[in-house]
Amino acid sequence: MTTTLITGANKGIGRETARRLVEAGQDVWLGARDSAAGQAAAEALGARFVQLDVTDDASVAAAVQTIRAAGTGLDVLINNAGVGGAVRSVPETTVDDLAAVFDTNVFGIVRVTRAFLPLLEASENPVIVNVSSGLGSLTRTNDPERAEGRFTALDYPSSKAAVTMLTSQYARALPGFRVNAADPGYTATDLNGNSGTQTVTEGTDAIVALAQIGADGPTNTFTDRHGVVPW
Of the pLDDT bands very low, low, confident and very high (cuts 50, 70, 90), residue 103 is very high
User: Catalytic residue among 11, 156, 170, 186, which?
Assistant: 156
Of the pLDDT bands very low, low, confident and very high (cuts 50, 70, 90), residue 199 is confident
Of the pLDDT bands very low, low, confident and very high (cuts 50, 70, 90), residue 86 is confident
In this structure, are residues 173 and 195 in contact, taking their beta carbons and an 8 Å threshold? Answer: no
Of the pLDDT bands very low, low, confident and very high (cuts 50, 70, 90), residue 40 is very high
Q: What are phi and psi of 47, to 5 degrees?
A: -105, 175
Give the whole-angstrom CA distance, residue 185 versus residue 164.
15
- Neighbour-count burial of 59, counting CB atoms closer than 10 A to its CB (0-12 exposed, 13-18 middle, 19+ buried): middle
Task: Tell me the Cα Rg of the chain.
Answer: 16
Task: Give pLDDT tens digits for 18-33.
Answer: 999 999 999 999 999 9
- Per the prediction, the chain carries an average pLDDT of 94
Please confirm, yes or no, whether 156 is among the known catalytic residues: yes
Chain centre to alpha carbon of residue 65: 21
In this structure, are residues 52 and 74 in contact, taking their beta carbons and an 8 Å threshold? Answer: no
Task: Give pLDDT tens digits for 159-197.
Answer: 999 999 999 999 999 999 999 999 998 664 666 566 556
What's the predicted TM-score (pTM) here? 0.95
Between 145 and 191, the higher pLDDT residue: 145
